[in-house]
Copies of this chain bind each other. A is one copy, B any other.
Amino acid sequence: MPTIKDVALKAGVSVTTVSRVLNNRGYLSEELKKKVYDTMEELNYRPNELARSLSRSKSNIIGLIIPFVSHPFFGELTSHIEGHAYRNGYKLLLCNSQLDKLKEFEYIDMLRSSRVDGIIMGSHTLEVEAYRQIHLPLVTFDRQISPEIPYVCSDNYRGGALATGLLADKGCRKLAHIGVHPHLNLLSHQRYVAFRDVAEQRGIWHTSLHTDVNGFKLEEYEALLEQLFLEHPDIDGIFASSDILAAYALKACQDSGRRVPEDVRIIGYDGIAQRKLQNPLISTIRQPIEEISKRAVELIIEQMQGKAVASEHILPVELEEGATT
């Protein structure tokens, strides 16, 4: 591949000049610019980003660590984050932790070595201290780590309250919450807290089931629903902590001859696009996924620029009623 030196030589100028043209710095005659641009074109020259990054100590890369891209929610999140990064001239290094501690740890190391300009953390299997050691612009999704590290999330408590309130309003008398394991200090745990609060306020019987610690597996979801109906066959309202989980609940109801919403009412969380494939359409609490993604990227960029950023970014949710409630 041709280098800046080749361009300089062929254009009959110095590398400094070529670099100047490249970065549009200082005063350059139109004629000179054209000459340089032409030789670049001629040589099919592409500036070496590695060298640029090294020299400027800025890579224009954002690292994204999430549990699973193949999970629809994270797929949408990733998609929007990529879009915003792209619009701002950043590349995205994708890291699937699979909720594997070692993998997440190694990825953090790799990202630091790669001198990424910042990291968006959507996976949180490690201890607080591990994240504090990173010393890079950081944004966390759905987890509060320490005051210096900003986090962005949906209004989990309000979402949980809205969902539970709807089930109560519809006359449910025996509620179940299903979700992933609340082992870590994830903010999504607030959905459950709200569920419990509202159910108790309203004096409604309620219970909660959750998957294993590393639970994002589809088989686990199935087992969870089976257990639920085995232990509590007369459940008449389910608040699922994700739309995927809600879809499983719906399927489990249909398979066991329960009518939805007549016998059992179901409401999910997330508001993923794929929800629309379900029949009947699943009621849900919509997270502003696009807004969350945008904010996360902005927060990374602002930190890089040395700006002070607020540490708390709680974005509003919206109740979106379908046909399962």
Q: Please give the residue numbers on chain A whose beta carbons come within 8 Å of chain B beta carbons, in ascending order.
A: 44, 46-51, 53-54, 59, 61, 68-72, 75-76, 78-79, 82-83, 86, 91-96, 98, 103, 109-110, 112-115, 133, 218, 244, 247-248, 250-251, 254-255, 273-274, 276-279
Q: Is the interface of A mostly helix, strand, loop or mixed?
A: helix
Name the B residues within 8 Å of A91 (CB-CB). 93, 110, 114
Compute how far the CA of A109 lies from the CA of B46 in the bound complex, rounded to whole angstroms: 8
Compute how far the CA of A218 lies from the CA of B113 in the bound complex, rounded to whole angstroms: 40
A289 CB to nearest chain B CB (Å): 10
Q: In the complex the two chains form, is A79's CB within 8 Å of B68's CB?
A: yes
Name the B residues within 8 Å of A218 (CB-CB). 273, 276
Q: In the complex the two chains form, is B69's CB within 8 Å of A79's CB?
A: yes
- 11 other A-B residue contacts (CB within 8 Å) besides A48-B54, A247-B277: A49-B113, A69-B69, A71-B75, A82-B94, A82-B95, A83-B98, A86-B96, A92-B94, A92-B95, A93-B93, A277-B277
Compute how far the CA of A23 lies from the CA of B229 in the bound complex, rounded to whole angstroms: 57
Name the B residues within 8 Å of A109 (CB-CB). 46
